[in-house]
Chains A and B, each alone.
Chain A
């Protein structure tokens, strides 16, 4: 690990000022320290924000405001989250281990970086780690890589589970900028597609500090988080789906789906939600939903299987959510 100066933030404006100057914020540290040990991250200044008063879950309007420092464990254990946003509790419990979730925070989890092998291996080219060096995954070992929204510069995936559920729920990220002003960013717009600048994972600007994630009023309906991975526990998603779906008689009253493991961000396609909403669930409808979702999907060799797998998982989730036996 490269040497750094450690400071502790007593208030958010100090953290904003420091990150504007290039400092890294540390809260749980579970991803940042892993990357610092490998010298993939080598900040000169590390600002400890873990003692800021951002660790509460509070009712806000008809929804919930989850402080940026609420741990993944605390969020998944919260009775309101379990009752009203089960897809979020399920998604968090599908990720990592109890040890990691006890440290990992809501804000930090949103900012976790890809687990692409080439990003992690400093002997290999990676435009995300070292802009302009190329992408080793494009013609390399790319089993875990993106099938949607990738570019010639980067085919890495966003690795998390929590943000996939937040995307399906339509949550907002609350951010304080360097001017002290608070703004909200929809989770669906928080992570970027790689384009020509894969080094930027999110739309956060220097000087921004995440202070909370806000959830809308409870959406009800059937909520499912389905994760397919290489082992039964403690593995990243090959494909995951967060589904919030409400029936009205034999029709789908509303549907909101988000997908993990497929892209550089939690994938959300309003065309899929729109197709499902108002329709009667049938096997044919589910296939049409998969056609829309996978329109433009592209495999890079080792990850070609994800296209067929996504279709199967989507249909299974929709069958479960609608009670359709077809």
Chain B
């Protein structure tokens, strides 16, 4: 059974050592997903698998038969940006841009997780639906490092998308 990447079927037949990240970049030519640390510490490689965010560097491509993968290439186009992409541009939420694809994939999943009622470490009450305050956004995005330090503008962009959605 193939895996689908941004809606297109792909068959994986390579070396089982191949991570999903390397498969995306080297075999599928989808270089939007970035390799930072390659050890799950920086989040640059964040993609969505069956709508959940994961570190694509810490999973094997061979394990994803039948899964639906969404990378940054599946989000929008230069002429038709995804709201998160547009907000990142508007708020100058990057300097070098290397972490940005991972940040945007992560933010998309974060918004969905909160809508599903998932709590975080900083949630005061586990029984109440979370409100994505700036503190909540920072905690929920802590798996995505930005060495340029654009954090405050990343939080602002995500907060704006949430505000518009309300």
Residue pair B40, A73 in contact (C-beta under 8 Å)? no
Question: Which of B58, B59, B118, B126 makes the CB contact (< 8 A) with A73?
Answer: B118
Question: Which of A48, A89, A96 makes the CB contact (< 8 A) with B63?
Answer: A48
Given A98-B140, A98-B143, A99-B106, also A83-B127 (CB < 8 A): yes
B8 touches A (CB below 8 Å): no
Residue pair A102, B53 in contact (C-beta under 8 Å)? yes
Residue pair A100, B40 in contact (C-beta under 8 Å)? yes
The contact string, 1 if C-beta is below 8 Å from chain A, for chain B 100-131, is 00000010011001001111110100110000
Complex-state Cα separation, A42 to B130, whole angstroms = 42
Residues of B within 8 A of A98 (CB): 53, 106, 109-110, 113, 120, 140, 143
Question: Which of A4, A34, A76 makes the CB contact (< 8 A) with B58?
Answer: A34
A321 touches B (CB below 8 Å): no
Complex-state Cα separation, A94 to B163, whole angstroms = 27
**Separation in Å of the B24 CB from the closest CB of chain A?**
15
A194 touches B (CB below 8 Å): no
Q: How many residues of B contact A (CB 8 A)?
A: 36
Residues of A within 8 A of B127 (CB): 82-83
A233 touches B (CB below 8 Å): yes
Residue of B nearest to A227 (CB): B121
**Separation in Å of the A28 CB from the closest CB of chain B?**
8
Residue pair B139, A233 in contact (C-beta under 8 Å)? yes
**Separation in Å of the A238 CB from the closest CB of chain B?**
16
Choose among B19, B40, B127 the residue with the greatest number of A CB atoms under 10 Å from its CB: B40
Residues of B within 8 A of A29 (CB): 58-60, 63
A26 touches B (CB below 8 Å): yes
Residue of B nearest to A34 (CB): B39
Residue pair A6, B16 in contact (C-beta under 8 Å)? yes
B83 touches A (CB below 8 Å): no
Residue pair A4, B126 in contact (C-beta under 8 Å)? no
Residue pair A26, B63 in contact (C-beta under 8 Å)? yes
Q: Which residues in window 55-94 of B have CB below 8 A to A?
A: 55, 58-60, 62-63
Interface residues on A, range: 35 or more
Q: Which residues in window 185-215 of A have CB below 8 A to B?
A: none
Residue of B nearest to A27 (CB): B63
Residues of B within 8 A of A6 (CB): 16, 60, 62
A312 touches B (CB below 8 Å): no
Residues of A within 8 A of B40 (CB): 30, 34, 99-100
Residue pair B118, A234 in contact (C-beta under 8 Å)? no
Residues of A within 8 A of B17 (CB): 1, 3-4
Q: Which residues in window 1-56 of A have CB below 8 A to B?
A: 1, 3-6, 26, 28-30, 33-34, 37, 46, 48, 50
Complex-state Cα separation, A3 to B14, whole angstroms = 12
Given A99-B46, A102-B52, A234-B143, also A93-B63 (CB < 8 A): no
The contact string, 1 if C-beta is below 8 Å from chain B, for chain A 153-164, is 000000000000
Residue pair A100, B55 in contact (C-beta under 8 Å)? yes
Residue pair B16, A4 in contact (C-beta under 8 Å)? yes
Question: Which of A33, A232, A234 makes the CB contact (< 8 A) with B59?
Answer: A33
Residue pair A37, B120 in contact (C-beta under 8 Å)? no
Complex-state Cα separation, A103 to B45, whole angstroms = 14
The contact string, 1 if C-beta is below 8 Å from chain B, for chain A 67-105, is 000000100110000110010011001101111101100
**Separation in Å of the B48 CB from the closest CB of chain A?**
10
Complex-state Cα separation, A1 to B17, whole angstroms = 7
Given contacts A77-B118, A99-B106, 8 further A-B contacts (CB under 8 A): A6-B60, A29-B58, A33-B19, A37-B39, A48-B63, A50-B63, A96-B143, A97-B43
12 pairs across A/B with beta carbons < 8 Å?
Answer: A29-B60, A30-B58, A48-B63, A83-B127, A86-B126, A90-B121, A90-B126, A98-B140, A99-B55, A99-B143, A100-B58, A102-B52
- Residues of B bordering A, CB below 8 Å: 15-17, 19, 38-40, 43, 46, 52-55, 58-60, 62-63, 106, 109-110, 113, 116-121, 123, 126-127, 138-140, 142-143
